[in-house]
């Protein structure tokens, strides 16, 4: 395949994925407003998967994203993040990712 065509296609895919992320945030906010758990789950799943795929298209290995999330959660827990103190959300996410 011609290098220029491949580069243009890669740029187009990245731009499309960026719009997908924004679109899924909008769907999530609408689902929260409606109080529809099934729509919230669908929007969150789409948002998370789009984020992973966008990262991959940007040259970031999926495992690197998981490791970065784990490091961020460890830092939040060490800093006494309120979501950890109040609900245990940070350690719950760490446990979930580590079991994959």
> What is the C-alpha separation between 61 and 89, in angstroms, rounded?
25
Nearest to 51 by CA among 73, 18, 26: 18
**Rounded CA separation 75/66 (Å):** 14
- Find the farthest-apart pair of alpha carbons in the chain and give their distance in angstroms, rounded: 55
Q: What is the mean pLDDT of residues 31-35?
A: 98
Can you say whether residue 75 is alpha, beta or left, with left for phi > 0 and alpha for psi between -120 and 50 degrees? Answer: alpha
Cα 49 to Cα 4, 13, 17, 20, distances in angstroms? 28, 15, 10, 10
Higher pLDDT, 1 or 18: 18
**Alpha-carbon gap, residue 47 to 89, rounded angstroms:** 19
Q: Which of 61, 58, 30, 59 is nearest to 44 (CA)?
A: 30
pLDDT digits (tens, 9 = 90+) for 34-88: 999 999 999 999 999 999 999 999 999 999 999 999 999 999 999 999 999 999 9
pTM of the model: 0.86
């Amino acid at each position: 395949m011609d290098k220029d065509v491949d580069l243009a296609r890669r740029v187009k895919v990245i731009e499309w994925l960026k719009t997908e992320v924004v679109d899924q945030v909008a769907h999530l906010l609408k689902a929260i407003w409606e109080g529809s758990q099934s729509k919230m789950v669908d929007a969150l799943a789409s948002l998370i998967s789009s984020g992973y795929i966008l990262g991959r298209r940007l040259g970031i290995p999926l495992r690197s994203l998981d490791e970065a999330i784990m490091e961020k959660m460890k830092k939040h827990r060490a800093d006494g993040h309120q979501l950890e103190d109040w609900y245990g959300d940070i350690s719950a996410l760490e446990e979930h990712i580590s079991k994959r």
